[in-house]
Amino acid sequence: MKDLHQYKQRLETASRKIQNSSTICEENKKLAEQFKDWNALRSTSTSRQYRYLSSLKQILEHNDFRLDNLKEDEESKRKIHKVLGQIENSEYYSKDCSAKTKMEYKSAIKRLLEFHELSSKPEESPLLPQGFKAYVPEKDKKRTDPNDLPTPRTMLKHLLR
């Protein structure tokens, strides 16, 4: 199958950007490379690998603490809670993130905990807050009202302008 969205190239570019970043410590660079390889071994799709790695890049560039030595202790719990707070407050961007974007970051954190073998069910990890969810609840999903969509006639009108 052809890689229409060039996810292999995007994945390698994201990996290279992490390795060349002056704001990410060497231990976290090594972690990112191992995390990338681990996801590939788990037959994770290239697009999903890219999403996890690009989320991890934002997290690593925004924090000066190491995430390569997570374990079931209070320091690791504090780090994870700090990152989750940053995600909720959209601190990685200049504008508020959508619920879907926040879910993608949380999903990367969940996968990172699995990588560290802290839980086979990461949502049950003692490092995560009780009730942690890495998905967008149905009630928070924004739906497009079909009545708000343009009709074929309206689209044709815009195209012929």
* pLDDT tens series, the chain, 161 aa: 677 789 999 999 999 999 999 999 999 999 999 999 999 999 899 999 999 999 999 999 999 899 988 988 999 999 999 999 999 898 887 778 888 889 999 999 999 998 988 766 656 777 888 777 777 666 666 666 677 778 888 888 888 87
Contact between 118 and 72 under an 8 Å Cβ cutoff? The reply is yes
H/E run at residue 148: none
Could you tell me the CA-to-CA distances from 153 to 12, 20, 36, 87, 141 in Å, in that order?
43, 50, 47, 41, 29
Record the pTM.
0.78
Look at residue 139 in the predicted model and tell me its pLDDT.
65
Find where tokens 């619920």 sit. Answer: 99
Comparing CA positions, the residue from 32, 42, 31, 41 lying closest to residue 11 is 32
Alpha carbon distance 111, 135 (integer Å): 13
